[in-house]
Amino acid sequence: MFILVNLKAYPCDPIEVATAARDVAEASGARIAVSPQAADLARVADTGVETWAQHVSPNDHGSHTGSTLAEAVADNGAEGTLINHSENRLKLADVDGSVRAAERADLETIVCANNPAQVGAAAALGPDAVAVEPPELIGGDVSVSTADPGIVEDAVAAAAAVDPAVDVFCGAGVSTGEDVAAAGDLGASGILLASGVAKADDPRAALEDLVSGL
């Protein structure tokens, strides 16, 4: 089970979270990664934690002011990237372009989707994984695996029907070890979460609780 902690633009200390994630991963054997703001990628990667970008743009080098170049995030320590998060939605052609850009920079990819139908479309683009995150549950206290377990099962089936090699993750409201265990029981091979760790008073304790469900 892969645990990816998205720090979004929360006012947390990215180094504190990264250090905690590194230590909990080493102690538990779990795969835990942190996705900070682009400006923090290098110093988060310097902690030794697996580091992911929150986004890469669907373009190559050139006149693209304001873009997040895949090669730039890779050069600053990122090993993978989220694409098409519900808070940073892209057109389908741009999702494809971002996946291709990430491949060019040798980054792993997770394409986010709102529902099983979108999961199937995303899987057809050949990312390493797709993540189903119903927008209405993002940032809430109820996890998708509890509120709507059927959507996780349907997402797993939708991806498998298109490309069995594409992993399926789930997110939205995940915050406890029980949520992680439930996601695994429904067929997910990873989870995305944000506020459950980034806004926690004790990020290390929150991470330790998450891996207790593995």
Among residues 138, 135, 89, the alpha carbon closest in space to that of 114 is found at 135
The one-letter amino acid code at 12 reads C
Please state, in angstroms and rounded to a whole number, the distance separating the CA atoms of residues 139 and 160. 28
Are the beta carbons of 130 and 168 closer than 8 angstroms? Answer: yes
Q: Considering 16, 64, 79, 133, which one is annotated as catalytic?
A: 133
Q: Is 55 a catalytic residue?
A: no
pTM, full prediction:
0.93
Q: Considering 26, 71, 85, 87, which one is annotated as catalytic?
A: 85
Domain holding 93: CATH number? 3.20.20.70
Per-residue pLDDT of the chain (214 residues; tens, 9 = 90+): 999 999 999 999 999 999 999 999 999 999 999 999 999 999 999 999 999 999 999 999 999 999 999 999 999 999 999 999 989 999 999 999 999 999 999 999 999 998 999 999 999 999 999 999 875 555 555 555 555 678 888 899 999 999 999 999 988 667 788 888 888 888 899 999 999 999 999 999 999 999 997 8
Q: Note down the domain range covering 206.
A: 2-211
In the chain, alpha helices (H): 14-28, 41-45, 70-75, 92-104, 116-123, 144-147, 149-162, 177-185, 195-198, 203-211
Q: How many domains does the chain have?
A: 1
Q: Is 108 a catalytic residue?
A: no
- Amino acid 144: pLDDT: 55
> Helices (H), strands (E): how many in the chain?
10, 8
